Amino acid sequence: MSFFGLGKSVVHISKTVYEEILNHAKESYPHECCGVLVGGIFQDRKIFESHRATNANTDRAHDRYIIDANELNLIDKMARSQGLDVIGFYHSHPDHPDKPSATDREWAQHGYSYFIISVQGGKETSVKSWAIEDETGPFREEKIKLT
């Protein structure tokens, strides 16, 4: 189903890129990691690359993240030079579930996938992808398909 359809939308990601994201989350524990997902939107979303970002929220790195705007702009320019787009973001939830928090919803924007990695005691336990259908709607889970 499409992003706006009734069923779950699907996000395709290679096992290699998926593992890169998990490793980043484990390495960053007990702090939140964050990064940018680059790819394209065809019939489904396809993630071709992940780019680690520095968590600029040094005051609350254990439960908040901020991606520096300059860093995001550089990643976006690099993606566009390859004919790709920023299609999502990822971050970890140290010792918390892979469900979006109220802060995650407050900052979320329509049109992007949000991967959340639950890291318990330094080991990932689960990963889910979320998206919103409009600026005021709730998060909706997306299906992650490893390719």
Mean of the per-residue pLDDT values of the chain: 93
Note whether residue 73 is domain-resident.
Answer: yes
Higher pLDDT, 37 or 6: 37
Note whether residue 5 is domain-resident.
Answer: no
Note whether residue 1 is domain-resident.
Answer: no
Note whether residue 54 is domain-resident.
Answer: yes
Note whether residue 4 is domain-resident.
Answer: no
Residue 2 has pLDDT above 50, yes or no: no
Compute the distance between CA of residue 114 and CA of residue 88 in angstroms, rounded to an integer.
6
Q: Give the residues across from 120 on adjacent strands.
A: 123
Which helix H or strand E contains 3, and what residues bound it? none
Q: What is the pLDDT of residue 7?
A: 61
pLDDT in tens, 31-81: 999 999 999 998 899 999 999 999 999 889 888 899 999 999 999 999 999
- φ/ψ of residue 33, rounded to 5: -95, 165
Q: What is the pLDDT of residue 6?
A: 47
Confidence bin at 123 (pLDDT 50/70/90): confident
How many domains in the chain?
A: 1
For the domain that residue 59 is a member of, what is the CATH number? 3.40.140.10
pTM above 0.85, yes or no: yes
Q: Which domain holds residue 81?
A: 10-146
Note whether residue 87 is domain-resident.
Answer: yes
Confidence bin at 124 (pLDDT 50/70/90): confident
Which of 19, 20, 27, 32 is an active site residue?
32
Note whether residue 2 is domain-resident.
Answer: no
| Closest to 29 in 3D by CA, of 65, 62, 72, 78 | 62
Q: Which amino acid would we find at residue 141?
A: E
Note whether residue 38 is domain-resident.
Answer: yes
Q: Is 142 tagged catalytic?
A: no
